[in-house]
Chain A
Amino acid sequence: MTSASLARPAERPRKPPRSLLGPAGIAAFLLITYWAVSSEFGIGLDLGAIVKDLDRGQVILADVLRPDFGFFERTIPAMLETIQMAIIATAIGCGIALPAAFLASRVTAPNAFVLRVDRGVLNVIRALPDLLYAMIFVAALSIGPLAGIMALILFNLGVIAKLLSETIDGVDTGPIEAARAAGAARVQTIRTAVYPQVLPNYVAFSLYVLELNIRASTVLGLVGAGGIGRLLNLQIGFGNYDNVGFIILELFLLVFAIELLSISLRRRLV
C-alpha cells in the first residue's frame, strides 16, 4: 500500500494566497488608537504633562518612599477589618459561585433554559464594577464594612462563576459518561465526575479572589464601605504621605503573602 502511493505521488497543492486579514487588522488598530489619542477627536494625550508636573509629584513620591513605621499600630484595626471583610466575602461569594458555575456550563447544566438564565444573571452581575456596588450598598445599608462585604460578594460571585464555568466546559467528559452509565443522578455525577476535576482550579480562583478583595478594600474605603481604604483616604487628605507609603507597603506584603500561600496550596493539590 505504501509502495503504491510512493510510485505515483499526488500533485502537490499550490500555496494558498496570503490572507490580508492580518495587515488590515493592524491598520485598523493603529487608526482606532490615533482616534482615541489625537487632540481633535480624542482625549488629546500629552505625555509632556508628566514631566511638567513632576516637581509636585516628586515631593509626594519621596514621602511615600519613606514609609513611617511608627504608623503601624494605628493601621491594625483597619487592616484587620480589611482582612476579615475579604475572607467573609470570599467564603460567601465562592460558596454561591460553585453551584452557579455548574449551572452556567453546558457540560453540567440540566437544560438550556437554566443555562441561559444563570449565564444572563451572572453577566449582569459582572457588568458592574465593585466600586459601583459599594456605592449602592453604602446608600442602601449604611456606611461600614457590611456594604463593602456585600459589594465584594457580588464581585466574587461574578468572577468565580465565570472562570469556573469555563473550566467546567473544558473538563474530560469520559467520567461523566461513566457515572451516567452506572445509574448516577445528575448531582451525583457532578459531585463525583466533574467536581474533582475542577477542584484545583476552584481553590486557585478562590485564593485569587481573596487577593483581589484585599486590593479592592483600598477603593471601597473611598466610598465609605469600610476597611483600610478609609484610613488611606484620610491620610491622603491630610497629606501624610509617609503614612500612605506605610499602608501601601502593608498591602503589598499582605497580597504577597496570599500569593505565596496560593502557590504552595496549588502545588499540593494538582
Chain B
Amino acid sequence: MIDFKNASVTYPGGVHALRDLTLQIPDGEMVVIVGLSGAGKSTLIRAINGLVPLTGGDVTVDGKSVAKARGGELRRIRSRIGMIFQTFNLVKRTTVLNNVLMGRLHATPTWRSLVGRYRPGDVEIAMRALERVGIVEKAYVRAANLSGGQQQRVGIARALAQEPKIILADEPVASLDPPTSHMVMRDLQRINRELGITTIVNLHFLDLAKVYGDRIIGMRDGQLVYDGSGAQADENVFRDIYGRSLTADDVLEAAATR
C-alpha cells in the first residue's frame, strides 16, 4: 500500500511539482498516471522511492515513511520497489546479465559487488527475470547491441530481479515505436496480473492509458485532477486533465500513422 498524505514537492527554482497530494494505491493495482509533461508525473513516481525528496507532507510504503527514511533504511525500502525508465538507463558497455544483476545489489555484500562475484542464487534470479521477459538468450550480449525494445525488457528484468512488491515505470514506452510500445505494456500488465506486483506507469498516450490502466490518475500542475477507472475515462476527462482540446499527438496510433 502506497499512501500519500498532503505530499508536496517544491524544486529549488520555485516550481511546485506536487501540491498537497493525497492518494492511496492498494497492493496489486495497475495504475496509469497521465498528464502533460511538467504536470508532476515523474515527481510523483520518484517520491515513492525517495529519488525526489518531499518538501512537505509524507509518503509511506507499507506503513514506512519514505520521507523520513535515511541511509540503509531508505535502501531497504527501495529494494522492494523496482523502477523502469524512459531511456532504459542501462550500462551500455556491459552485458545484459550484469545490468539485470544490478537488481540484486541490495542483497549483495559490498565486497562481492566490488569484485563482481555475485552469488549463484542471485545469478539464477537474474536469469529467471530475463526468461520472464523473453530475452534470456541475450544474457551475455552487451546491452549496447540490443534494440530499444529489447533494452527496455532488460530494464524490466532488472526491476524484476529485485523481487519487488511495487514497480514504477516512468514513461517506459516514450522512446519506442508503437508495436514495441504495446509489447512492453503487455509485459508490464502480465507482471502485474501474474505476480501481483503493484504497477504504476506514467504515460502520455491516452489510448495506451485506457487500454492498460485499471485505474487512471490525472495530474495537472502538480495536483490530482482525476482518479477513476480506465473505462470511465472518456475524451472529456482527458480534455480536463490536459486543460486543452486533444490533438493527434496525444494518441499513440495516430502519432504513428502520421
Residues on A close to B: CB < 8 A? 172, 174-175, 177-185, 187-189, 191-193, 196-197, 199-200
Contact = CB atoms under 8 A, between A and B. Distances in A.
Interface stretch (B17-25, B75-83, B130-138): B75-83
A241 B116 CA distance: 53
A204 to B, nearest CB: 14
Interface stretch (B1-9, B98-106, B184-192, B222-230): B98-106
A182 B85 contact: no
Contacts of A196: 91, 93-94, 98
Contact of A182 (B78, B91, B94): B78
A191 B83 contact: no
B113 A192 contact: yes
Contact of B102 (A178, A187, A199, A200): A178
Contact of A180 (B51, B93, B113, B158): B51
Given A177-B51, A196-B91, A182 B113 contact: no
Interface of B: 49, 51, 75-83, 85, 87-94, 98, 101-103, 105-106, 108, 110, 113-114, 116, 155, 158-159, 162, 168
Contact of B51 (A181, A184, A187, A189): A181
Contact of A174 (B75, B88, B94, B105): B88
Instruction: Decide if the interface of chain A is mainly helix, strand, loop or mixed.
Output: helix
A188 B76 contact: no
Sorted nearest first, the 9 A-B pairs with minimum C-beta distance are A183-B79, A174-B89, A183-B106, A183-B78, A184-B105, A181-B83, A178-B89, A183-B75, A188-B113
Given A181-B51, A192-B113, 13 more contacts: A174-B85, A178-B83, A179-B102, A180-B78, A181-B81, A182-B78, A182-B79, A182-B103, A183-B75, A183-B78, A191-B116, A192-B98, A196-B98
Contacts of A172: 92
Given A181-B78, A181-B81, A197-B93, A174 B87 contact: yes
B85 A183 contact: no
28 contacts: A174-B85, A174-B88, A174-B89, A177-B85, A177-B89, A178-B90, A179-B105, A180-B51, A181-B49, A182-B82, A182-B102, A182-B106, A183-B78, A183-B80, A183-B105, A183-B162, A184-B106, A185-B75, A188-B108, A191-B113, A191-B116, A192-B98, A192-B105, A193-B91, A196-B91, A196-B94, A196-B98, A200-B93
B85 A178 contact: yes
Contacts of A193: 91, 102
B92 to A, nearest CB: 8
Contacts of B83: 178, 181-182
B124 to A, nearest CB: 18
A3 to B, nearest CB: 15
